[in-house]
Amino acid sequence: MKKIGVLALQGAFIEHIQILNKLGVQTREVRLPEDLSGLDGLILPGGESTTMRKLAKMYHLVSPIQQFAKKRAVWGTCAGMILLAKEVRGEDPCLGLMDIVVERNAFGRQLDSFEENLYIQALENGKKKPFPAIFIRAPKLLSTKNKAKIIARLPDQSAVAAVEGRMLATTFHPELSEDERLHEYFLNLAGK
Ligand code: GLN
């Protein structure tokens, strides 16, 4: 049985754990480097990336997560995506793992939070069913490089999800939607 860790320093980690449990997956809250041992994948939740970045450094998690990502699956949602990115506009990267360029709080105040139905081909088994995506002070996924591929876009074509090997990044909060397909997709990346 698969075991998935969720970085539990700050932010929406409980919601990820609830969905994973619903899918019958074992979970662990990750706060210290030793919590990573034996995991098949790690989720970096949404929240506040500046706070998470500070706490990750304080608890000496940065290099252990970088090592973990060489062999195991890692998924960053919203703030977690910012932690994953190799390039963050105007800031130093944190984990610097994924070949994506992101910009924090890029939708501005008027579009602080919104919901959008996304058609994500990678999630559809022949039938078209939109994924109800919730965006909260979301970052923008400006571009991908090398092996990173965009898998979801807004109707205006801006990228909102990407995959690179066993790494997944989403600018929105799939753990807040009543739709488990992205979590299932991640479990596939983590290996059966
Ligand atoms: N605005 C947050 C940040 O920059 C991300 C928001 C979120 O995770 N919902 O860290």
> Structural domains in the chain?
3-191 (3.40.50.880)
- The answer to whether the CB of 76 is under 6 A from ligand 1 is no
The ligand 1 atom at the shortest distance from the C-alpha of residue 136 is: 9
For the chain, 192 residues long, the average pLDDT of each consecutive 10-residue run is: 95 97 97 98 97 98 98 98 98 97 86 90 87 96 97 96 98 96 97 74
The yes-or-no answer on residue 180 being catalytic is no
Calculate how far, in angstroms, residue 173's C-alpha sits from the geometric centre of ligand 1.
10
The yes-or-no answer on residue 116 being catalytic is no
The yes-or-no answer on residue 173 being catalytic is yes
* Cα distance between residue 92 and residue 128, in whole Å: 39
- The answer to whether the CB of 163 is under 6 A from ligand 1 is no
Instruction: Check residue 143 and give its pLDDT.
Output: 97
Instruction: Check residue 112 and give its pLDDT.
Output: 83
Instruction: Check residue 110 and give its pLDDT.
Output: 61
pTM assigned to the model: 0.96
Instruction: Check residue 1 and give its pLDDT.
Output: 82
Closest C-alpha among 175, 169, 173, 188 to residue 19: 175
**Ligand 1, atom 2: closest residue by C-alpha:** 48
Give the list of residues 6+ apart from residue 71 with CB closer than 8 angstroms, or none.
none
Instruction: Check residue 192 and give its pLDDT.
Output: 57
Tell me the three state secondary structure of residue 57: helix
